[in-house]
């Protein structure tokens, strides 16, 4: 199996060395890992209240160290990924900055809603002040826009807005259907991110009904633990794979130099 969403301490909120993540993956018998740390927001001209990404000048060293790790021969392959934020208005800068490096894949994630870092525990009280329907509406709008930029191979944790357990009392199915159709139309995959199970949402991202819609729409799926510490590599993968098969997925999307390949499930 493969884990395509691992962080590194460069983002200031993860622990462990690259070698430790790889060792954890080897111990779990993973065929491949993808390091996908947070892309420096500084390069997009965006300075969040809490630093959650590496500094701009650390990016070349990040790429170099992942490539160095990947050049070693071992039982577990290593891919060069990155988790980039979709911030409206920064598409051109992001495209330019991404073009400098030989990524295997780029995860597009929405973590910011008009400046609010809504998946960060520091800013969770903001949910209490807002209309949850409007929050979810804006979130899914940003995810659709992210797909349409064409800059991303896969969309990270596509319903992470539920992370802290705040859910509006409306049917979300129309949003899920719309996301599925935009993903399909733009040829973008989505990520089954197993970290959600360890949050107040107590579900994978996306949850099962959303996953079913994505499967029916024929959207490709990538898999990631979003590990911010080596112990989390491959977390809940038995459950995730069982769920993917039950829902009807036959393959997992993997990437090499941004070319999509598949791994039978």
Please report, for residues 100, 182, 240, 262, the alpha-carbon distance to residue 22 in angstroms, rounded to integers and kept in the order given. 25, 34, 20, 22
Report the distance separating Cα 265 and Cα 262, nearest Å: 9
H or E element at residue 117: strand 116-117
Which residue's C-beta sits nearest to Zn ion?
Answer: 226
> Minimum CB separation from Fe ion for residue 110, in Å?
8
Round to whole Å and give the CA distance between 237 and 70. Answer: 22
Whole-number Å distance between alpha carbons of 2 and 253? 10
Residue 216 CB, nearest approach to Zn ion (Å): 26
State which residue, 34 or 156, has the beta carbon closest to Fe ion: 156
Complete DSSP assignment for 172-230: -HHHHHHHHHHHHHHT-EEEEEGGGGGSTT-S-BS-HHHHHHHHHTT--EEEE--BSSG
**Cβ(155)–Cβ(108) below 8 Å:** yes
97 binds, among Fe ion, Zn ion, none (CB under 5 to 8 A by kind): none
Instruction: Select the binding partner of residue 117 from Fe ion, Zn ion, none (C-beta < 5 to 8 A, by kind).
Output: none
Binding residues for Fe ion restricted to 34-93, rule: CB under 5 A = 83
226 near Zn ion, judged by CB under 5 A: yes
Site for Fe ion in 226-255 (CB under 5 A): 226
Instruction: Give 17 or 259: the residue with its C-beta nearer to Zn ion.
Output: 17
Q: How far is the CB of 248 from Fe ion (least distance, A)?
A: 26
Q: Give the shortest CB-189-to-Fe ion separation in angstroms.
A: 15
Binding flag, residue 104, Fe ion (CB under 5 A): no
Task: Work out whether 109 is an interface residue with Fe ion (CB under 5 A).
Answer: yes
In this structure, what token pair is assigned to residue 226? 């979003």
Q: Quick one: 112 or 249, whose CB is closer to Fe ion? A: 112
CB of 41 to Fe ion, least distance (A): 12
Query: Residue 34: which of 80, 101, 85 has the closest Cα?
Result: 80
Q: Which residues bind Zn ion (CB under 5 A)?
A: 226
């Amino acid at each position: 199996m493969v884990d395509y969403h691992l962080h590194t301490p460069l983002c200031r909120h993860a622990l462990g060395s690259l070698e430790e993540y790889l060792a954890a993956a080897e111990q779990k018998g993973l065929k491949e890992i993808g390091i996908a740390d947070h892309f420096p927001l500084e390069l997009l001209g965006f300075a969040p209240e809490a630093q959650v990404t590496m500094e701009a000048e650390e990016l070349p060293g990040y790429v170099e160290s992942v490539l160095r790790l990947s050049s070693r021969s071992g039982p577990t392959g290593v891919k060069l990924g990155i988790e980039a934020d979709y911030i409206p208005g920064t598409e051109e800068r992001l495209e330019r900055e991404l073009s400098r490096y030989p990524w295997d894949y780029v995860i597009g994630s929405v973590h910011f809603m008009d400046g609010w870092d809504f998946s960060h525990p520091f800013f969770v009280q903001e949910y209490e002040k807002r209309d949850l329907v409007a929050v979810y509406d804006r979130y899914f709008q940003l995810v659709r826009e992210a797909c349409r930029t064409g800059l991303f191979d896969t969309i990270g944790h596509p319903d992470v807005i539920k992370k802290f357990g705040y859910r509006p009392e409306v049917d979300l199915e129309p949003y899920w259907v719309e996301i599925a159709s935009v993903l399909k139309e733009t040829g973008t995959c989505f990520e089954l991110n197993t970290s959600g199970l360890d949050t107040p949402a107590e579900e994978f991202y996306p949850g099962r009904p959303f996953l079913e819609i994505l499967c029916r729409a024929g959207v490709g799926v990538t898999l990631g633990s979003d590990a911010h510490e080596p112990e989390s590599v491959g977390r809940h993968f038995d459950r995730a794979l069982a769920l993917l098969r039950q829902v009807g997925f036959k393959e997992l999307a993997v990437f090499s130099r941004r070319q999509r390949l598949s791994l039978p499930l």
